[in-house]
A and B are shown apart, each in its own frame.
Chain A
Amino acid sequence: MVPLHYYLLLSAILFACGITGFLIKRNIITIFMSIELMLNAVNLSFVAFAAHWHVLSGQVFVFFVMVVAAAETAVGLAIIIAVYRTRETLNVDQVNLLKL
């Protein structure tokens, strides 16, 4: 059996990758994928704990996260398309109308 901390380590690495991607990438699609990566890193921790402690709530949480992520993806992609149509770019640094 794989020890718990392996899962957690992998989860942390994935999460860090997600954050890094979120912060350094400028393309909205990439940022979006980074968010998914972070979500799935957290999902991994959930199921690892669930398996370790033999409780189901962690797995239930994962389903919720996946459902929310799916909805978010749908809305998010729609927004991205709308942004692209109006501004003809997906560079977040140029999407700054609210800037002072």
Chain B
Amino acid sequence: MTPNFHLWLIPLLPLAGAAVNGLLGRNFSKRLVAFFGLFFVAASLAVVWTVAIRFWSLPQAAPHTEVLAPWIMAAGFTAHFAFYLDQLSLIMILVVTNVGFLIHVYSVGYMWEEGGFYRYFSYLNLFMFFMLTLVLANNYLLMFIGWEGVGLASYLLIGFFFVRDSAASAGKKAFIVNRIGDFGFLIALFLLIQHFGTLDFDKVFPAISGLPVETAGAGLLTAIGLLLLAGACGKSAQIPLYVWLPDAMEGPTPVSSLIHAATMVTAGVYMVARSNVIFDHAPDALMAVAIVGVITALFAAIIGMAQNDIKKVLAYSTISQLGYMFLACGVGAFSAGIFHLMTHAFFKGLLFLAAGSVIHALGGEQDMRHMGGLRKEIPWTFWTMTAATVAIAGIPFFSGFFSKDEILWKSLSSPYGSRAYWTIGVFTALLTSFYMFRLWFMTFFGEYRGSGSHGYEHAGHAHPTLASAKDVLAEIVVPAEFVSTVMSNIIERGGMVVSFEERGGITILSASVPAAKMVHYEEWLREHTNARGTWSEHAPDQQGKAEVLVRPLAVEHEHRGHIHESPRVMLVPMVILAILAVIGGYIGVPEALGGHNRFDHFLAPVFRTAAGALPAGTPATGEAAAEGTAASHSETIATAVSILMAFLGLFFAWLLYYKKRDLPDRIAASLGWLYNTVRDKFYVDEIYQAVIVTPLVKGSALVLWRGVDVAGIDATANDSADSARSLSDKFRHMQSGNVRSYAAWIAVGAAVAIAYMIWMGVR
């Protein structure tokens, strides 16, 4: 007897939330929007936990499929709306719903003062729906729906501040780059359908298990594996498709945390792990996964060292950590990859939330060069961030240490592993530790480097102010018909519309505008909107009138003017995640460290085939079996090395960014072009632009547009229309409107008809 878990509730509850907020939320109060947004995710979370507890209590935890409804049945191919629960998808839904719920809670605080509150929660719930569909799907097709759906949600949320041009184009970039990977994924699915006739996991994998391992040469499974890898590279931001993730930081910070760090970007890792049977039968594809992973880990870590934007550092760190997960999968240690995925979701989700809290405290400042000394101002943020930093840096006994160590050890000891992987991995661990502590020191230690602003001077507070001198937050009240003009003008002058709100024919734009141009704004607005303008620092009651009013908020709201700790609704999720980041590793302590690696054993049934499919008699396997104690011994040494690396990174960061603050600049100067190359991200975006985008755009414009479309297709249609028109132009004169000429035409016609009949002798 199989129990019924009602798995369909898990994804569909957030969908209901998205529908409620998306369709009706416009008229809700913010409290109601937040309630619905949280309620449905919480309900889903509750279902997940009941499912998890019941699943654990099952005597034999076998994979469990629940068919919700038939979907496609055509020509022998069937796909159902069906959900698949095994140890792997259970871990995934636990991570997604728990971290997802915490970030929803955090978002309530973070987004409270932004416009489009209901829209934000609708998108966020929509994302949860698609992500849960992705991880619960029992076939590749439904997984693909989730896969595309999270891409859509990601696009919508990156471009959430769509009036900002950079946000809109970052959204497009993410979507388009992902499309390249999805192309590979789709081809892989087509190949699976062609050769196995089905996409259901419980049918495809047994069928593949029966096939021989493609050790001799590349074959079908290698092709499928490489194509799946292409898809995973897009979604999980691996070389060469990683370029979208740093740009995705244009989205609100909780979105970066949930989608672009904790959950969505790990979908590629999940997909590779889910397809472990395919990869086990295709060692070449597996090696490609490992190589992509290890190179990405190193490459992104190097770039991350030279970034000054706090979110960009975390973005490159995410790419690098995802590289680790790929490395783990690529050496056949899928459970280690998933373990790191989980701990990474905790600490990287938290890092972004803490970074968001810092940005929030500083009123939008993201440049670490303008931070510093914040640990006394925002202690909660500081301590949670510290927990996450030590976790990711691999300081012993925090979660990241266990998972990363597991990966590094597997990259050395696995039959697919090699010394090169391990060396690069360990070196990357050093870089990881360095750039994370660099961020930590730059943000929280030293003295505050942000500049004071009006708010500070006016208010006379001892605290430094949040707003950097160059920008002022202004509230501009405009009659509705001038909104678009004013908005485009703000953007033109280097300002940024933060939110807008409509109240009976009047729109209140909140905009961050260059302080120096504030006066010009007032002049311009008065001139172009024909309204009586007033410049006032205290004129909130005049909002009701249809007149131009530029009111700098930084002056008015003094609480924005100094650094402040985030509200409790943001801190509580951070604290919970911090606890998870600290203790999350203990469920999978590697055996060499005296643990039992319960995580590995729990996932073992899913990856059982992995061990079974290893080519028998591979030297590494033999050695490992023969020298079990020696392996454990060398694992201890490997662990010691990675601990050393973590502390070495900490030491260098301390030296450069705390002890001798002038040293980094001197080093950067002495490195010259090398430093610039790293700081400018190896010019990858520029290279892509030059090698791919520009030729594509030029080619499309010249050949496809001007050549094929205009000169070919359009010309055919236009010319045939033109010739028809000129022909008709000739015949048009027959229809003169003159009755007698009509009669003549009839007579001529009749005469011709009669003549023809006489001539041909028709009876």
Interface residues, chain A, with chain B CB atoms under 8 Å away = 19, 22-23, 26, 31, 92-93, 95-100
Contact = CB atoms under 8 A, between A and B. Distances in A.
Closest 3 pairs between A and B when the two form their complex, measured CB to CB: A99-B737, A98-B737, A96-B737
B744 A23 contact: yes
B520 interface: no
Highest count of chain A CB atoms <10 Å: which of B735, B739, B747: B739
A53 to B, nearest CB: 15
Nearest to B739: A92
Contacts of A98: 737
Contact of B740 (A23, A97, A100): A23
Interface in B704-763: 732, 735-740, 743-744, 747
B738 A92 contact: yes
A33 to B, nearest CB: 14
Contacts of B738: 92-93, 96, 99
Chain B interface helix/strand/loop/mixed: helix
B747 to A, nearest CB: 5
Contacts of A19: 747
14 contacts: A23-B744, A23-B747, A26-B740, A31-B740, A92-B738, A92-B739, A93-B738, A93-B740, A96-B736, A96-B737, A98-B737, A99-B736, A99-B737, A100-B736
B734 to A, nearest CB: 11
Contact of A23 (B732, B735, B736, B743): B743
B739 A95 contact: yes
Given A23-B747, A92-B739, A99-B737, 7 more contacts: A22-B743, A23-B740, A23-B744, A31-B740, A96-B737, A100-B732, A100-B735
B757 to A, nearest CB: 15
B750 to A, nearest CB: 9
B738 to A, nearest CB: 6
A96 B739 CA distance: 8
A26 B747 CA distance: 17
Contacts of B739: 31, 92, 95
Contacts of B743: 22-23
A99 B738 CA distance: 7
A93 B744 CA distance: 14
A99 B747 CA distance: 20
B737 A97 contact: yes
Contacts of A23: 740, 743-744, 747
Contacts of B735: 100
B344 to A, nearest CB: 77
Contacts of B736: 96, 99-100
A22 B736 CA distance: 17
B32 to A, nearest CB: 66
